[in-house]
Amino acid sequence: MNLERLLKDYLEHLEIEKNRSLKTVENYERYLKRFLEFTKVSSPKDISDDVVREFRLQLNRMRDRFDHTLKRQTQFYHLIALRNFLKYMAKRDIKTLAAEKIELGKVSQLQVEFLEGEEVNRLLSATSGNSLQNFRDRALLELLFSTGLRISELCSLNRESVNLARDEFSIRGKGQKIRVVFLSSEAKATLKTYLDKRADIEEPLFVSAPKGKKTQNSNPTRLTPRSIQRLIKKYSAAAGITKRVTPHTLRHSFGTDLLRSGADLRSVQALLGHSSITTTQRYTHVTDSVLRDIHKKYHGQTLKVKK
């Protein structure tokens, strides 16, 4: 069978049978189309060890318009997509290279970037003001830090998604999995203030702010991930935070704060919506200072010899 046709079938399989998000399907399509473009193979039987080795070399040597090479993690994603595509073909009894022939190797653990408590306070304080935009942005930041939501999850929220009579609500995350997240008292209060100030009846929870001297936006639109990234960048600069701050930085700050406060790893995994505990374990290295204090306080207490 033609590989391009098989690829189309596989992407539909991911979306329908595997219930993968559209973003995941788009990423797989990009990685696998790059494989077809680089290698020029047109049939499953043409995929061999040598073809894959050449693909890996091209990925490693590939440079973008800024003359930067592909990150190791990005190269890793290409190979994962290819392996899963090969497994799909094997299940359909199509002769091709065995997926197990592709060794992924070790990938260095991603660094978790997070804000310290004092930095979070400065970031929130940078939103001070009495405009509708100030109220919106404070509520948005408080919600991110209170729940650890992904930016896509935040953007998808509607007014009816968050019941302020309760301190919790459900969110549909990666892989269409539903989890419960919880509102801090600060997030609940700032959200209520923001919603009370809005005069529109639009469905989205976070919408564009009025421009110029207007106090209300007559035609507000749902905030996009890009617009939220820009506003966080603006407030982090205003707060004098030198490190790069993104929506995911606040998600990391949420997970780190929980672990430092004594939460167990499994609970943090559930609150963040990680499918694998391995992903959550990336946060453990930031709690070393807490572990050091515990070690000093408790280690060797029963072994001390009285003089």
The catalytic residues are: 150, 174, 248, 251, 274, 283
Select from 117, 157, 304 the least CA-distant residue to 125: 117
Angle at 70 between CA 67 and CA 71, to 5 degrees: 125
Give the whole-angstrom CA distance, residue 120 versus residue 74.
30
CB contact set of 98 (below 8 Å; sequence gap of 6+):
86, 90
Ordered DSSP codes for 17-47 = TS---HHHHHHHHHHHHHHHHHH---SGGG-
Q: Residue 210, Cβ neighbours under 10 Å: how many?
A: 16
Q: 231 phi and psi, to 5 degrees?
A: -70, -35
Q: Which ranges in the chain belong to alpha helices (H)?
A: 3-16, 22-39, 49-61, 72-91, 117-125, 132-147, 151-155, 185-197, 225-238, 247-260, 265-272, 277-280, 288-298
Q: Residue 183, Cβ neighbours under 10 Å: how many?
A: 21
Select from 141, 176, 160 the least CA-distant residue to 254: 141
Query: Hey, which residues does 158 pair with through a beta bridge?
Result: 204
Give the whole-angstrom CA distance, residue 190 versus residue 160.
16
CB 194 within 8 A of CB 117: no
Give the whole-angstrom CA distance, residue 186 versus residue 120.
13
